[in-house]
Amino acid sequence: MKSYLKTKDYSISQEAFELLYDDTLDMLVTSPEPKNVAPYYESEAYISHTDAKESVVDKLYHFVKAFSLKQKLALINSFSTSEKTLLDIGAGTGDFLVSARKQGWKIEGVEPNTNARTKSKEKGVTLTSHLNQLEGSNFQVITLWHVLEHLPDLENQIKQLVSLLDGKGILVIAVPNFKSYDAKYYKEFWAAYDVPRHLWHFSKNSIARLFEKHDMYISKTKPMWFDAFYVSLLSEKYKIGKQNLFKAFLIGLCSNISALSSKECSSHIYILKKQK
């Protein structure tokens, strides 16, 4: 694999990492992969595990999260599912599962972070710590909202996910897109690289190629328009050391306008189904 870019962990450790290009899968790989990634999540700076609402970025994150939550529920409710069984991987503090249960879904969730599981339990949702604990189960819908990029041993993890999916089940995956306008603009400062928590960096091609080996295909791709603005806000901070709301909004807007023709959004949602 060839070197694509050098970047660093801007949010927590400040350690340097390299992104290597895998031309077979058309994706980037974080190098080196930490032997123990847990310490890189153990910080109040990692908002999806804390529910923090102190800074401007925190508040914007939760505003976008609330809006996205409604969109996620509308998406899974649009599927033709008889049993409404749902598994959310990387469930964080449980908000998506809490809302899904209110709408009649039979829920399960996986979250490795102890602090996040504790907060989820306080909301009435008990999460398991590892996918292996659900072996033998079947779900009609499995969701990974910005989670696939975090999973070590990617091939085996995908194999496990597919094995947990009902024969006519649907896999929903949301991931950043390193071919987007904002990724190319910010380069090493692009916040969605988020090394080393993000071990893999996907393109449309890579998602298709990774899953076709497991007899799955992309049924539909949906844009995540708000991600361009939120990622640009963080990227500006990493690049210049402070917030720049106007510039972040401008780059986010440019990214979305560019995506109208290129179809390369800051992040995409992929809806995958098993081959018939």
Ordered structural domains, the chain, with CATH: 2-274 (3.40.50.150)
* Average pLDDT of the residues in 34-63: 69
Can you say whether the dihedral through the CA atoms of 107, 72, 140, 166 is positive or negative? negative
Question: Residue 57's pLDDT is what?
Answer: 63
| Cα–Cα distances in angstroms (integers) from residue 116 to residues 9, 72, 110, in the given order | 21, 20, 11
Is the pLDDT at 44 greater than 70? The verdict is no
Whether the pLDDT of residue 214 is over 80: the answer is yes
Binned at pLDDT 50, 70 and 90, residue 53 comes out as low
CB atoms within 10 A of CB 24: 9
Sheet holding 27-31, edge to edge: 2-8, 16-22, 27-31, 200-201
pLDDT in tens, 249-260: 999 999 999 999
pTM: 0.92
Chain segment 151-182, per-residue pLDDT in tens = 999 999 999 999 999 989 999 999 999 999 99
The enclosing H or E element of 252 equals helix 245-262
CA distance 194 to 20: 15
Which amino acid, residue 35? K
Residue 91 has which token pair?
Answer: 């469930």
